[in-house]
């Protein structure tokens, strides 16, 4: 997260994330799933802006809500009401700190929804950090991370400040140092998948704490490959428990993954519970080259090479009988 003061308030850039590794170990007695993941933030950002208002003026609307705090969203398929995670984060911080929310918070969405890229979770984490400053709460990073865990399993990750191994339901973090800057091509098909739907399809079963005993440790191997700069082998070591079941039930996504793999010998991996896929590349130039190949497959010529406002994205949209989606290049931000 990148939080800074402006002449009229505060702003934050909330990064997307990619799952370089995701293993669902099983279903726990409390209903959550036991996870083991390697996640990294990448340069595709939502933007949040907060500006103050006159705290002396209180305008009440119908019921108990107050217009001292206003929330707005620019973007498609994103709610601007109490169901938005950023709004939930604002009210959670206010309740914990004993302050009344005030000011105007605006969210500009760039991270695609239902893509497995953590946009909502990142927005919530950025809101906590942004309003912690704006409202003068001044909670520590550790305390904010504790609040983040109440909002969602992925939210604490965005306080790690870089790549992290995430365990438990995602809230137990091990920040990882020594990883190189990584370059990716990401494709978000028009098809979307909810996390709930993905877990239902996975049907992981009851969590067994003995499951991991004596088995190979592919995550440790992946980390070793990345730290040693062995990116071709690292790309082939990336995996996602959701991928096989999602591809089996979504022929269009299977087609997309096959096209990406055919164009990139390093392969293509799904992030989170989908539906976005990414391909690891050795350099930014290689990523741009692969994006160009994907453009030839997907592009209908209507939006080639549109510049992304906050990231490195070159958006390319295509319409073919098999699949269509949005493609961009990005890199890790740590």
* Domain CATH code at residue 287: 3.30.70.890
For residue 291, the model assigns a pLDDT of: 93
- Say if residue 115 carries a ligand binding annotation: yes
Claim to verify: residue 12 and residue 135 sit in the same structural domain: yes
Q: Given the residues 46, 88, 109, 154, select the one marked as catalytic.
A: 154
Q: What's the mean pLDDT in 237-243?
A: 96
158 and 209 both lie in a single domain: no
Instruction: Provide CB contacts within 8 A for 328, sequence distance 6+.
Output: 44, 185, 186, 291, 308, 311, 312, 313, 314, 315, 316
Same domain, 170 and 188: no
121 a known binding residue? yes
What is the Cα–Cα distance from 334 to 332, expressed in whole angstroms? 6
Domain that holds residue 62: 2-175
For the stretch 162-213, pLDDT in tens is 999 999 999 999 999 999 999 999 999 988 888 788 888 776 444 455 555 5
Residues 220 and 323 in one domain: yes
Q: How many domains does the chain have?
A: 2
Active site residue 196: no
pLDDT (mean) for 287-305: 71
Same domain, yes or no: 122 and 250: no
- Based on the domain organization, do 273 and 238 belong to the same domain? yes
**What does the pLDDT read at residue 62?**
34
Residues 208 and 254 both lie in one domain: yes
Can you give the pLDDT at residue 321? 37
Same domain assignment for residues 298 and 164: no
pLDDT band, very low/low/confident/very high, at 316 (cuts 50, 70, 90): very low
Is 114 known as a binding-site position?
yes
pLDDT for residue 104 is more than 60 = yes
Q: Of the candidates 118, 140, 175, which is a domain's last residue?
A: 175
How do residues 207-235 score in pLDDT, each as one tens digit?
455 555 555 689 999 999 999 999 999 99
Q: Same domain, yes or no, for 160 and 194?
A: no
Q: Which of 124, 152, 175 corresponds to the end of one domain?
A: 175
CA distances from 311 to 46, 89, 329 (A): 9, 24, 9
224-233, 235-244, 246-255, range with the lowest pLDDT: 246-255
Domain endpoint, select from 110, 143, 175: 175
Q: Are residues 46 and 190 in the same domain?
A: no
What CATH number is attached to the domain comprising 41?
Answer: 3.30.230.10
pLDDT-derived band at 312 (thresholds 50, 70, 90) equals: very low
Same domain, 154 and 232: no
How far apart CA 221 and CA 334 sit, in angstroms, is: 21
- Determine the pLDDT at residue 56: 38
**In 28-150, beta strands by DSSP E:** 33-51, 69-74, 103-108
H helix or E strand, kind and range, residue 270: strand 269-270
The whole model's pTM is what? 0.88
What is the CA 44 to chain-centroid distance, rounded? 9
Task: Please indicate if the annotation marks 116 as binding a ligand.
Answer: yes
224 and 257: one domain? Answer: yes
Share of the chain above pLDDT 90, in %: 67
Percent of the chain exceeding pLDDT 70 equals 84
Task: Answer yes or no: 190 catalytic.
Answer: no
From 17, 88, 109, 188, the catalytic residue: 17
């Amino acid at each position: 997260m990148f939080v800074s003061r402006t002449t009229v308030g505060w702003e934050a850039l909330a990064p997307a994330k990619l799952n370089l590794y995701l293993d669902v170990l099983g279903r726990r007695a409390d209903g959550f799933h036991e996870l083991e993941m390697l996640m990294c933030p990448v340069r595709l950002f939502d933007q949040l802006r907060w500006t103050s208002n006159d705290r002396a003026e209180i305008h009440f609307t119908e019921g108990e809500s107050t217009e001292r705090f206003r929330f707005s969203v620019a973007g498609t398929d994103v709610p601007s009401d109490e169901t938005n995670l950023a709004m939930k984060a604002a009210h959670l911080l206010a309740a914990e700190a004993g302050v009344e929310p005030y000011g105007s918070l605006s969210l500009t969405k760039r991270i695609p929804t239902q893509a497995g890229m953590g946009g909502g979770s990142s927005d919530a984490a950025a809101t906590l950090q942004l309003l912690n400053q704006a409202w003068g709460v001044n909670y520590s990073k550790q305390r904010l991370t504790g609040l983040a865990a109440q909002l969602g399993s992925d939210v604490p990750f965005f306080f790690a400040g870089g790549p992290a191994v995430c365990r438990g339901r995602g809230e137990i973090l091990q920040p990882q140092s020594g990883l190189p800057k990584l370059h990716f091509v990401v494709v978000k098909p028009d098809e979307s998948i909810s996390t709930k739907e993905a877990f239902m399809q996975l049907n992981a079963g009851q969590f067994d704490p003995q499951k991991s005993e004596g088995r190979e440790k592919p995550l440790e191997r992946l980390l070793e490959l990345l730290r040693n700069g062995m990116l071709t082998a690292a790309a082939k070591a990336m995996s996602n428990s959701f991928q096989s079941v999602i591809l089996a039930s979504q022929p269009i996504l299977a087609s997309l993954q096959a096209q990406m793999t055919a164009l990139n010998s390093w392969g293509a991996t799904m992030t989170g519970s989908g539906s976005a896929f990414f391909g690891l590349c050795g350099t930014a130039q290689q990523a741009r080259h692969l994006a160009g190949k994907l453009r030839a497959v997907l592009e209908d010529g209507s939006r080639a090479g549109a510049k992304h406002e906050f990231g490195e994205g070159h958006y390319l949209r295509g319409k073919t009988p098999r699949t269509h989606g949005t493609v961009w290049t990005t890199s890790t931000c740590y």
